[in-house]
Amino acid sequence: MSAKSRDPVVLTRPAPGVCLLTLNRPGVRNVMTTELTEAWDAALDDIAADGEVRVLVVTGEGSAFCSGADLSWLDQGSPEDLTIDRLRGRMLPFYRSWLRPRDLSIPTLAAVNGPAIGAGVCLALACDVRFAGPAARFSTPFAHRGTHSGMGATWLLPEAIGVSRARDLLYTGREVGPDIALEWGLVTELAEDVLTRTLTVAAEIAQAGPIALRLTKAGLAQSFTGLEHALQWEALAQPVTMTTADIHEGILAFRENRLPRFRGH
C-alpha cells in the first residue's frame, strides 16, 4: 500500500487470489467513522462481486488495528435524534457493515498489527482466522465507558474464548496482550511481522479449490447446530465438489507431485 494514499480504505492484490484491505486512517487509529464505514462497505461490495478473490486479509495502517466505533456524534446530536428507537436504527446497520467478513463466502484473515479496542475486537473476531503482532492489544472497555457492548461482542467473544473469559474481558475492560490472546484463542498465531505472515498463509489458502473453500466456510458457519446437521451438510457439499473439474485437477496434481491449478469449476 502506498503510505501516501488518502483513501479511507485501500485495496491491494499482494498475491494471486488474495485481496488485502487496509483501514487507512492512522491519524485517528482507524476509528470507525462514518467516512471509514462507507468506504469499508464499498470495498466489501467490490470484493464480494469479484470472483477472482479467494481470500481476504484485513489490517490497519499505522500503530493500531482498529480503535473501535466513533461515538463523538452522540455529543453533536439533538435530543430528537438520540431516542432509543433512532439509535437502534443507526446501530444495527453499523454492526452489520463491520461484521460483513463473516458473511463473505471466502475465508477472511485478520492481521492485528496493533490495538483492537471495543468494536475493533469484534471486527477481528468477524474474520475467520486472526494473527497478532508484538504490538497487538485487545480490550472491550464498553461498560467502563458507560455503555453496553455492541457489534456482537456478547456472542463473538464466547464463541472464540468461552463464556468465562468473555465475562472477564467484558466486565473488567482489561487489556490483553498477544501472549494471552494466543493462549485464550483470540488469535491462532503470533508473528514478528504479522502482515507478512498473514499474507503468506492467505496465499497458501488461495491455492486450495475455491468451491471447496466456500463450501467449507458455509459448513463451519452452521457447525454449532450439531453433528447430524454437519453430516447432512457434508453429504451434500462433498458430492458437489466431486462433480467439478477441480477435483480431477487436484488428483492429477497429487499424482504428478505438483501444485494444483484450480479454476473454480
Q: Is 134 in the same domain as 246? A: no
pLDDT in tens, 103-130: 999 999 999 999 999 999 999 999 999 9
Domain of 250 in residue numbering reads as 210-255
Per DSSP, the three-state class of 69 is strand
- Residue 177 in domain: yes
Mean pLDDT of 45-62: 97
Examine the domain organization and report whether 28 and 131 are in the same domain.
yes
Closest CA to 114 of 99, 139, 132: 132
Q: Are 234 and 219 in contact (CB under 8 A)?
A: yes
**Domain contains 63:** yes
Domain-terminating residue out of 166, 185, 206: 206
State how far the Cα of 18 lies from the Cα of 16, in Å rounded to an integer. 6
Quick one: 33 and 149 in the same domain? yes
- In-domain check, residue 263: no
Which of 171, 190, 206 terminates a domain? The answer is 206
Cα–Cα distance, 237 to 211 (Å, whole number): 10
Q: 95 is written with which cell numbers?
A: 454492526
Question: What CA–CA distance (Å, rounded) separates 23 from 238?
Answer: 36
Question: What CATH number does the domain containing 155 carry?
Answer: 3.90.226.10
pLDDT value at position 217?
93
Is 77's pLDDT higher than 80? no
146 and 59 inside one domain: yes
Do 195 and 237 belong together in one domain?
no
How many Å apart are CA 52 and CA 68, to the nearest integer? 30
Same domain, 235 and 142: no
In the chain, the DSSP E strands lie at: 9-15, 18-23, 55-60, 108-112, 115-117, 129-132, 137-139, 189-190
Tell me what pLDDT residue 76 has.
67
On whether both 109 and 56 belong to a single domain, the answer is: yes
pLDDT tens for each residue of 124-160: 999 999 999 999 999 999 999 899 999 999 999 999 9
Strand partners, 21: 11, 58
Tens-place pLDDT, residues 208-247? 999 999 999 999 998 888 888 888 888 988 888 888 988 8
Whether 191 and 215 map to the same domain: the answer is: no
Q: Which residues contact 2 (CB under 8 A, 6 or more apart)?
A: 10
My answer on whether 118 and 158 are in the same domain is: yes
- For 162-215, write each residue's pLDDT tens digit: 999 999 999 999 999 999 999 999 999 999 999 999 999 999 999 999 999 999
Q: Quick check: is 2 in a domain?
A: no
Is residue 227 domain-shared with residue 181, that is, in the same domain? no
Q: How confident is the model at residue 264 (pLDDT cuts 50, 70, 90)?
A: confident
